[in-house]
Structure 1
């Protein structure tokens, strides 16, 4: 659950790219939506409403001489298609659009594809029933509405298929309109180009906007969860990653690491040296923990580690941390104290925020014991498994 979630300490200061897998935390749509507080109600109801509007347009077409009026079969086909927009609108009013917009999960993408296929084929079927192809050509402007959804909620390949399909339908209806003789060729070209520009231009412009918006949000969320000095997770980011990474029914460890006599270092050598000590400690903690957990800075000179470790592994980790050598100050040895709590086979569910809070408090108590024992040592205690 915790593999590669850390960022190289100090990366922000060095202008480096974040660790590739660190961004996995920001691929979780629920995490993202919780932080940016997007309201899905208006977009959901907006899409549902537009779906019903398209159905209403179809019903109006049944009364138009150039549409389906006078042909019971054509009227029945369009009424059926229009009626189908009601259950589809109900479904779309309940779809979690924010999760679909952000997520890469195939199960969520399939909802998008199904809706777009329905919309594209439904509109095409309706246009095919019109007695005058010119009316169908005018109707293809509705593909722009579908394209707006495509731009935000579909990936590149299905998006391309939508563009190819709608382009073919628009051109096909343009050719039929020209051959029918019901409209002058320049007018046919005009109507065709307007529909092509509306449908495809919407995809291009909104895709760019959606992509850039997600990039900006990702950077803002990552910044909000990263300690700017050390490059590791801040308290907020650590709390979230630790919460979602709790392995059900398996060992889980939370450790708190504190720099001994850090205030004296700041007072004697200045804040610049103190910051350098913090950065080096963070970097070395990330290196020692590796893929076995996540590292965060809780504040000041206190760091935290969370990982799926049993007691033996936790003791080994604490001992390795205590043996680290920090060389920012040559005439004085920098030491750390470690307090850790280990939960063996606990039953707390993943996402239980209170469990992580409890674990941090328990690790703090263990750290207090280590400090009272003279510093430069560690204490590993067992937590309640219930």
Structure 2
């Protein structure tokens, strides 16, 4: 048993390695988007896949019945037909449900791979055995019907390279080889045609997969550009607000800090916008470097920045992080050949103490920011309660 398990794992590794060499690589940046695309596509195709399976099984069963084959030889396929009907009804309901999380999505895709390859392999072996058994008036009808079904299933599974290619190989190879090695001239010609079309289909799947990856990469690039501030590369206003809204929806404790550069207008007026832009990029780099693994920095516009610190609840820890941010921004820097000493004021608010929606939190942080400026600038000021925020 262990040897069989190791052998199966080895075959899967070999298959994946071969696919990796032949098919384009998937950039890690689009892996989640690819999984979501595969899930949505396969979820739509599941009823169609089962309808194809039912149709082909009925054709095979009808041929066997017409040849007066004992029912015990093919009666077991009725269980597969009933299972497919049940799956069609089930998946029509599931298609109306929301997309699950990444873990459940991954389990679904892995299960879809196994189910597609396994079911096609079983039916293909049955069709090959039926053909080799002989004694039928129309022996080629069964493998030809199977081939049509396999090509349709592989097309439906096109977003999943392993499932689509393995389906073609497992579905076409057994019957094709049986016909090529034992059949008459017509059977051999049809076998060559089936296997040739399967090889061409694999080439199509390779091109399709490459186009799919390129399209998803372009969509990811467009999404990133739409969510980034063009000057600093930080998250823009919309993106950071979306992150805050998502944190609110999760109900986890977090803090929002609004940051405003002190005397930035004087730098712009005295040394020009080039110097001002250089200062903004410098501040953005420092914010990104000191936001930490649980933080995300963004630019709201002008010289206004924001930092979201997620999964923090301790008041002392929050205060210390805010003081560290102000200190990090205040270090001397070289701007267009001259040393300058930037400074920033920071106001922060915490969820849920200062509010339970984006508007309340930003108003509380903004009030704290202006309090910091009134108290002398270059410092952090916070709001820790709804009463203070008001």
Paired residues of 1:294 and 1:305 also in contact (CA < 8 A): yes
- Counterpart residue number, 2:342: 334
- Pick the aligned partner of 1:314 from 311, 318, 338: 318
**Distance of aligned partners of 1:263 and 1:185 in 2 relative to their CA distance in 1, 3 Å threshold:** same
Q: Distance in 1 between matches of 2:51 and 2:265?
A: 66
Structure 1 residue 230 displacement after superposition: 0.8
- Counterpart residue number, 1:193: 195
**Distance of aligned partners of 1:220 and 1:257 in 2 relative to their CA distance in 1, 3 Å threshold:** same
Matched, 1:137 2:143: yes
The within-5 A match list for 1:31-110 is 44-64=43-63, 69-71=67-69, 72-74=71-73, 76-93=75-92, 94-95=94-95, 106-110=106-110
Paired residues of 1:29 and 1:103 also in contact (CA < 8 A): no
TM-score, normalisation: structure 2: 0.72
**Residues paired across the two proteins, number:** 346
The within-5 A match list for 1:95-244 is 95=95, 106-117=106-117, 119-121=119-121, 123-124=123-124, 127-128=127-128, 129=130, 134-138=140-144, 139-153=146-160, 159=162, 163-164=165-166, 166-184=168-186, 186-197=188-199, 199-244=201-246
Per-residue CA deviations over 1:287-326 (Å, capped at 9, x if unaligned) read 2222241111122211111113332222222223333225
Structure 1, 364-373 or 45-54: larger mean CA deviation: 45-54
Paired residues of 2:143 and 2:175 also in contact (CA < 8 A): yes
- In structure 1, stretches of 5+ residues that fail to align are 1-19, 349-353
Structure 1 residue 268 displacement after superposition: 3.1
Q: Distance in 2 between matches of 1:280 and 1:298?
A: 16
Larger radius of gyration: 2
Q: SS of the counterpart of 2:306?
A: strand
Q: Distance in 2 between matches of 1:225 and 1:343?
A: 24
Taking CA–CA contacts closer than 8 Å with sequence separation of 6 or more, which of the two structures ends up with the larger relative contact order?
1
Q: SS of the counterpart of 2:158?
A: helix
Per-residue CA deviations over 1:167-187 (Å, capped at 9, x if unaligned) read 255232123224553543651
Q: Distance in 2 between matches of 1:170 and 1:44?
A: 25
TM-score, normalisation: structure 1: 0.73
Structure number having the greater helix percentage: 2
**Distance of aligned partners of 1:111 and 1:54 in 2 relative to their CA distance in 1, 3 Å threshold:** same
